[in-house]
Amino acid sequence: MCGIIGYIGSRGATPLLLEGLKRMEYRGYDSAGVAVMNGSGVETRKAAGKISRLEAALNASPVAGDLGIGHTRWATHGAPNECNAHPHIDCKGNIAVVHNGIIENSGTLKKELIAHGHTFVSETDTEVIAHLIEEAFDGNLEDAVIEALWQIEGTYGIAVVSSKDRNKIVAARKGSPLLIGLGDGEYYVASDVSAILAQTREVVYLDDGDVAVLTREGYTVLNQRAQQLERRVSKIDWDLDQIERGGFDHFMLKEIFEQPATVENCMRGRLLRDEGTSKLGGLNMTDEELLKFDNILITACGTSWHSALIGEHMLESLARIPVEVEYASELRYRNPIVTDKTLCIVISQSGETADTLAAMREAKARGARTYGIVNVVGSTIARESDGGIYVHAGPEIGVASTKAFTSQVIALLLFTLKLARLRNLSMVDGKEIIEEMLALPAKIQSILDRAGEVEIIAEEFRNAQNFLYLGRGYSFPTALEGALKLKEISYIHAEGYPAAEMKHGPIALIDENMPVLFITPHDAVFDKVVSNVQEVKARGGRVIAITTRDEEVLHGKLDYEFRIPETKDMLTPVLASVPLQLLAYYIAVKRGANVDQPRNLAKSVTVE
């Protein structure tokens, strides 16, 4: 969701800004722009739509300079058009600002600035920042930025340049990720490490309240009282080829096919096979401390919320501890029962999801210990939580999460295994679970080897208008996730439901035009799901089933069947989600949808 890139050095800024913007296309955006110091002043180029349109505008009217900032915008205030695209400038054209986040008091500030003679040209909240800095400017850009920030309420990641203080970029963050990239005589600012990965592997992550000043000689991090701060330099261990398609038609397909490796990466070094338990170095608490919790609260959004539901089932079944799963966006506005006996697990692929981060902070304020499950090293949730586990899925570029979801489920099981063995799970049972976990990569690969079977099903249902996904037990959250994947990238209306709840409403929708996908592994609730399959067939519905064995009771009741390997019940979601991901992918491709950048969606949701 929105992307920021900035460069100061001795090379031409414009190509580097464009490259950085292209690397962040996966985040979701609807317009783009750059501001470059061209020798005499700040010059901007902006375009609605894809970065290719901005590139065309730059080719038609080039702008050169060795300092600049760029932005991809995901509209919040004002329509996605050229006027509302970033960067935004002040009245005199001396100051340019790019911004991620939302300025909540922009309306009030705008009225005050207009009263002082300022003229606004856009509908955005961001333009307020440029005018506030103009109002405060007295020769030093960082001082003016700091003074402006004191007046702002809301969230922001910003980068600012000025022709009146021309040899620096000033950046600041509050609630929206931002980092500095360190080069040889050149420096970068970005909202996403992928934007600068081709240029440097050394970064400094900014914390909320930080203000960074970048010059060709170096960088300084200040607080909002202009006091200098120390920030650690981190090394990025991702390879450039991890953020490129590598011969696949889309990032999403590449990431689906990476899952044997990413699941293995999440488990590597964390399983104690002989003891039937797991080792979690990032937990940052003793076994005695872990046993003192009375309950667990898991909070997340979207796909991560679905993994949380699976984690709830695991923890209550194996560790026998009460667990509640909450949408992060709802938790922060309730009055949840959270005490110092509560462990709050927060799940976010990016580690920057605004609602999840706010929910974690609320839980911490109420005395809970917090445990983060994230994919992005150095992310805000990773740095602010009391402990946690990186899922090690590598960069996930496709907006619709695939490999991060399956790795989150594994991370939750690793934690469950640790807690359950401390509480009540036998070593024998723990060992059995570990053996099945270790077999997962090969089983996932066996599903991927038969992807063509899923594509045949996709061809049959490419023109469907509605889909119903049904499952029970562990398969219910899997159904929710399968339905979400389909609606995200193919724009087909899809609902996930507990199979037994179908009778309480959704059964009214079933006819010969309604495909119903059942997740029916041979598990503890298999016989109950068979009854639900029969109810759908009796009403003329078309049934697709994800099964684990040849089931005589299903003969003649299925229109299409895809079989996955058998495994432990709690691991079935990892295997069952793979054909569901493939089905969504192939249907979307056949409908001509933009798989990696679905409309209206963003990869990292850093606003409410």
Q: Name beta bridge partners: 32.
A: 47, 72
R_g of the chain, CA atoms, integer Å:
25
**Active-site residue among 22, 403, 537, 603?**
603
d(CA 556, CA 59): 62
SS3 category, 203: strand
DSSP 52-89: HHHHHHHHHS----SEEEEEEE--SSS-SSTTTSSPEE
Q: What end-to-end distance do the CA atoms of the chain give, in Å? A: 11
**Active-site residue among 2, 266, 301, 344?**
2
The answer to whether 603 is a known catalytic residue is yes
DSSP 280-314: -TT--S-HHHHTT-SEEEEEE-HHHHHHHHHHHHH
Among 139, 407, 160, which residue's Cα sits nearest to residue 270? 407
β-strands 515-520, 542-547: how paired? parallel
Among 17, 5, 30, which residue's Cα sits nearest to residue 597? 30
d(CA 599, CA 593): 9
Residue linked to tokens 């984690």: 311
Among 429, 421, 441, 387, which residue's Cα sits nearest to residue 266? 441
| Tally of CA atoms within 13 A in the half-sphere of 100 that contains its CB | 34
Question: Is the Cβ–Cβ distance between 560 and 537 less than 8 Å?
Answer: no
Residue 389 burial (CB < 10 Å; 0-12/13-18/19+)? Answer: buried
Q: Encoding tokens for residue 525?
A: 């609730």
The answer to whether 235 is a known catalytic residue is no
Q: Encoding tokens for residue 592?
A: 């001509």
DSSP 89-104: E-TTS-EEEEEES-BT
d(CA 265, CA 441): 10
- Active site members: 2, 603
